[in-house]
Structure 1
Amino acid sequence: YSEHNISKDKPLTRMQLWLDACPQRENTCVQKATLNAGKHQLLASPDGEQGSLHLRQQVWVHHVELQKGESLSFQLHGPRAYLQSIHGTFHAVTS
């Protein structure tokens, strides 16, 4: 499967991740989940914590919306992380 933006003047306005959800569990429909503006929200996790989508992988998906000048610190669940900025730039610092 592949998807391409064929428009030369319109940017692609969605992001798609393929994760292995647990169909035997009752999960809320993520496509209709409300993203809480200005908050740190857990969308998916291995054990479905905080009402997130339950995955069959050691993957935690967070949604974070920060205003210019704001910062956020949180503990990662392992030695690696993937960060994706939808708008703007960010700096990741390890301690």
Structure 2
Amino acid sequence: MFINTNWYKQEELPMMVAHEIGHMLNGDTCYMYDHSNTGKISSEGAANRVAIDLLLQYCRDNDIQFNNYIMFLQQFCIPLRYEYIVKKKMVMN
């Protein structure tokens, strides 16, 4: 896994790192991207879902609380298309 720590939007780094860890935990490999766009889209979404779980767990472990899921999305630069996932997971916990 390679992370560009000089990324121009430093606030995106936690989500980027969690996303890449998500790929590793999901067992994704580089060669799978050559097979189909559907597989790539699916693996990207799955990596983002794992990233959200990792960030939520990090917040729980470190007693970091948010008043609502929108603040969590903004803090970690999570795309709004994942709002429903964050909302559901924050209500469950």
Structure with greater proportional helix content = 2
TM above 0.5: no
- Looking at secondary structure, tell me which structure has more strand per residue: 1
Choose 1 or 2 for highest CA Rg. Answer: 1
